C-alpha cells in the first residue's frame, strides 16, 4: 500500500507544519502514555506481589480471624471469636495429615539493646515455635533454631533477623550474647539469613522467641495466627479440609453456620490480588481509550485542515497524473505516521514512568509486552480510522477547482 516515496512525502508534510504536527503528537503521546503508565504500574505491583509470595512457603496454610485481603466495608465478621494459643495447641494434637503447626503472634514493637547499643524502636517481637522458620521460608545463617524444649520450659532465648546482626553485632559474634527487650534479658541462639523487604517493610527486622515465653511476659489472651503445612502442594485441599474440620470442632461452630475463621494460601491470596489488579487494568485502559479517542478526533481535524491548506498542491498532483489511490495513500500515510510516532513516544514515556514505581519499591522492571503490542495496533487503527475520511476527501477534489483555490 505504501512505498518509500509516500513515506518521505508524509514526513516532509509533517515537518512543513511543525506546530500543528507537534500539537497532534502531544495529544497522541498523552493518550498512549496514560494507557502504558497505568498498565506498567499495575504490572509492576502484580509482579512484585508474586515475587513476595514466592519467598513464602507455597504449601503453607494460614488460619486467621479475619480475611488477609479485605475489599469493601464488610463488618459481618467483626464479632468473631479470637484464635488462641490453646486452640492452636489442641489442633496440633488432632492433626493427622497437615503438619508443622506454628502459632504466630507479634508480642511487641520495640527497641533491642545490647550493651551500650540499641536499635530504633521498630523491631517486631514474634512468638512461635520451632516450625516458624520452615513455614515462612527462613534459613539459619548460623546458630540453631528454637527447640520443643525451649517452648516447653518457656526459655528466654531469641533468634535475630539479619538486620539486627548489622545493627548491633558488626564486630561481635552474637551467639551466646544477651540482649535486652522490654526490660528482660534473652540469650541469642541463632541468626537468620537475609530475606529482603516489601514496600520498604523489612522481613529481617524482628526477633523470634518461644511463644510460651511471650505468653508469660506479655500475656496470653491474644488473637493469633496459626500456620500449618501440607505434605505437598497437591495435598493443600485435603489439608485445608482437615484443618477446617478440626477448628470448627474446637471452636464449637454448628453445622449450619459458616466458618468463623479464614484460611488462606499463596494461591488464594494471589487470586484475590488478581481481581484487584484486573480492575485496575480495566480502569486504566478505559481512561486511556477515552484519551486516545480524543486524540484520534484531533488527528482527523488536523488532517482535514491539511487537506484544505494543500488543495492547490493536490490539484497540481492530479494535473500531472496522480491517481485517487495515490492521494489516499499519501494522506493515510501521514495520519498513520504521526500516530505511530506519537505512540512510540507515549510508550517510552509511559513504561519509564510506570517503572519508576519499581525503582521506588525495589521491584523488578516490567515491560508489558501485550500493552506495547496493543498500543502499536491501536495507533495503526486510529491512523486508519481517523485518517481515511480526510484522505478520501482529498482524493475527491476536482483538479481544475483545486488549481484555482487560493
Q: Which of 248, 264, 280 is the last residue of a domain?
A: 264
SS3 label, residue 331: helix
Identify which has the larger pLDDT, 54 or 284. Answer: 284
Measured over the CA atoms of residue 162, residue 168, residue 171 and residue 172, the dihedral's sign is negative
Q: Are 287 and 256 contained in the same domain? A: no
Q: How many domains does the chain have?
A: 2
Q: Are 285 and 172 contained in the same domain? A: no
CB 346 within 8 A of CB 30: yes
Lowest mean pLDDT among 125-139, 218-232, 267-281, 313-327: 267-281
CB 210 within 8 A of CB 150: yes
- In this structure, what C-alpha cell is assigned to residue 333? 500515510
Residue at grid coordinates 489439608: 239
**Average pLDDT rounded to a whole number, residues 162-167:** 90
Q: Are 204 and 322 contained in the same domain? A: no
Distance between terminal CA atoms of the chain? 31
- In this structure, what C-alpha cell is assigned to residue 251? 471452636
The reported pLDDT for the residue numbered 311 is: 76
45 phi-psi bin (left φ>0, alpha ψ -120 to 50, beta other): alpha
- In this structure, what C-alpha cell is assigned to residue 351? 513504561
Query: How far apart are alpha carbons 38 and 350 in whole angstroms?
Result: 8
Q: Are 64 and 48 contained in the same domain? A: no
How would residue 27 be classed by pLDDT, with cut points 50, 70 and 90? confident
Query: How far apart are alpha carbons 2 and 109 in whole angstroms?
Result: 68
Cβ atoms within 10 A of the Cβ of 290, count?
A: 12
pLDDT exceeds cutoff 90 at 114: yes
Q: Are 349 and 218 contained in the same domain? A: no
Identify which has the larger pLDDT, 183 or 1. Answer: 183
Q: Are 391 and 339 contained in the same domain? A: yes
Identify which has the larger pLDDT, 356 or 149. Answer: 149
Lowest mean pLDDT among 10-24, 209-223, 242-256: 10-24
Residue at grid coordinates 480524543: 294
pTM score, whole prediction: 0.63
Q: Which domain holds residue 178?
A: 60-264
The reported pLDDT for the residue numbered 54 is: 55
Identify which has the larger pLDDT, 58 or 301. Answer: 301
Q: Are 240 and 337 contained in the same domain? A: no
Q: Are 342 and 283 contained in the same domain? A: yes
Task: At 315, give phi and psi (nearest 5°).
Answer: -60, -45
Q: Are 165 and 47 contained in the same domain? A: no
Q: Are 28 and 126 contained in the same domain? A: no
Lowest mean pLDDT among 4-13, 145-154, 157-166: 4-13
The reported pLDDT for the residue numbered 153 is: 95
Q: Are 210 and 336 contained in the same domain? A: no
Q: Are 187 and 106 contained in the same domain? A: yes
Query: Which distant-in-sequence residues (6+ apart) come within 8 Å of 370 by Cβ?
Result: none
Amino acid at each position: 500500500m505504501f512505498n518509500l516515496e509516500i513515506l518521505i512525502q508524509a514526513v516532509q508534510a509533517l515537518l512543513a507544519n511543525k506546530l500543528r504536527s507537534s500539537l497532534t503528537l502531544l495529544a497522541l503521546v498523552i493518550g498512549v502514555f496514560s494507557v502504558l503508565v497505568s498498565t506498567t504500574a499495575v504490572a509492576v505491583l502484580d509482579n512484585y506481589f508474586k515475587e513476595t509470595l514466592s519467598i513464602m512457603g507455597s504449601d503453607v496454610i494460614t488460619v486467621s480471624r479475619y480475611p488477609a485481603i479485605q475489599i469493601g466495608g464488610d463488618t459481618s465478621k467483626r464479632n468473631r471469636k479470637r484464635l488462641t494459643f490453646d486452640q492452636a495447641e489442641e489442633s496440633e494434637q488432632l492433626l493427622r495429615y497437615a503438619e508443622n503447626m506454628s502459632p504466630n503472634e507479634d508480642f511487641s514493637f520495640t527497641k533491642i539493646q545490647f550493651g551500650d547499643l540499641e536499635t530504633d524502636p521498630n523491631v517486631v517481637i514474634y512468638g512461635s515455635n520451632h516450625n516458624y522458620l520452615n513455614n515462612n521460608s527462613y534459613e539459619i545463617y548460623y546458630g540453631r533454631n528454637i527447640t520443643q524444649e525451649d517452648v516447653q520450659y518457656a526459655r528466654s532465648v531469641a533468634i535475630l533477623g539479619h538486620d539486627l546482626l548489622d545493627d548491633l553485632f558488626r564486630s561481635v559474634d552474637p551467639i551466646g550474647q544477651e540482649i535486652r527487650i522490654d526490660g528482660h534479658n534473652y540469650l541469642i541462639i541463632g541468626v537468620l539469613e537475609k530475606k529482603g523487604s516489601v514496600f520498604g517493610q523489612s522481613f529481617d527486622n524482628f526477633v523470634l522467641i518461644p511463644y510460651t515465653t511471650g505468653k508469660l511476659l506479655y500475656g496470653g489472651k491474644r488473637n493469633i495466627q496459626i500456620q500449618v503445612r501440607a505434605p505437598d502442594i497437591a495435598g493443600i485441599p485435603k489439608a485445608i479440609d482437615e484443618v477446617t474440620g478440626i477448628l470448627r470442632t474446637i471452636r464449637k461452630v454448628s453445622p449450619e453456620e459458616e466458618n468463623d475463621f479464614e484460611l488462606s494460601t499463596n494461591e488464594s491470596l494471589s487470586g484475590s490480588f488478581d481481581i484487584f489488579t484486573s480492575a485496575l487494568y480495566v480502569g486504566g485502559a478505559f481512561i486511556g481509550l477515552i484519551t486516545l479517542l480524543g486524540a484520534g478526533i484531533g488527528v482527523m481535524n488536523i488532517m482535514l485542515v491539511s487537506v484544505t491548506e494543500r488543495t492547490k498542491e493536490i490539484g497540481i498532483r492530479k494535473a500531472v497524473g496522480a491517481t485517487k489511490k495515490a492521494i489516499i495513500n499519501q494522506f493515510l500515510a501521514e495520519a498513520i505516521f504521526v500516530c505511530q510516532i506519537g505512540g512510540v513516544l507515549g510508550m517510552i514515556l509511559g513504561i519509564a514512568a510506570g517503572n519508576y514505581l519499581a525503582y521506588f519499591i525495589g521491584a523488578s522492571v516490567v515491560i508489558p509486552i501485550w500493552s506495547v503490542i496493543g498500543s502499536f495496533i491501536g495507533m495503526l487503527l486510529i491512523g486508519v480510522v481517523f485518517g481515511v475520511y480526510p484522505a478520501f476527501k482529498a482524493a475527491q477534489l476536482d483538479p481544475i477547482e483545486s488549481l484555482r483555490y487560493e
